[in-house]
């Protein structure tokens, strides 16, 4: 079974970028790691035009409605100084590629780890290892 979060898919201390560039970079990582096809990046960009993906607490979770997900996984960019996403400041962006059966569980896991503004801010200033551990720690 493939890990849902690879350390090489986590970027920390990221300089602010446009949300389109962020989604393209995270989508490319998901594709290069074998989670998705390149078409999934286009699906994430299309979803972004239709729905708000900022979920609060300085967190955005771009995702796509696509059958090009091979394995459930995610890619993360942390912005300790924040970056503008629509009209809000986000500190973390988690690109989610989930097989249907994993979607709700993965969102629940993210909600537990990123349960408030303080948690998101702390995680955004953490090391790659700390972020990886937060999302891969099992009960």
Active-site residues, by number, are 63
Return the bridge partners of 75, or none.
95
| CA atoms within 13 Å, Cβ hemisphere of 76 | 31
The whole-angstrom separation of Cα 99 and Cα 106 is: 10
Contact of 72 with 35, CB cutoff 8 Å: yes
Please report the DSSP string for 96-138 in residue order. EE--GGGHHHHHHHHHHHT-SHHHHHHHHTS-HHHHHHHHH--
């Amino acid at each position: 079974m493939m890990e849902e979060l690879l350390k090489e898919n986590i970027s920390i201390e990221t300089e602010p970028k446009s949300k389109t560039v962020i989604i393209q970079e995270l989508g490319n990582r998901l594709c290069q790691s074998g989670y998705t096809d390149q078409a999934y990046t286009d699906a994430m960009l299309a979803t972004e035009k239709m729905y708000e993906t900022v979920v609060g607490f300085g967190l955005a979770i771009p995702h796509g409605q696509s059958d090009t997900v091979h394995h459930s996984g995610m890619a993360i960019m942390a912005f300790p100084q924040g970056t503008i996403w629509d009209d809000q400041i986000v500190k973390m962006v988690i690109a989610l590629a989930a097989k249907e059966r994993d979607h709700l569980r993965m969102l629940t896991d993210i909600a537990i780890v990123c349960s408030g503004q303080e948690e998101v801010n702390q995680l955004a200033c953490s090391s790659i290892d700390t972020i990886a551990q937060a999302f891969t720690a099992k009960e």
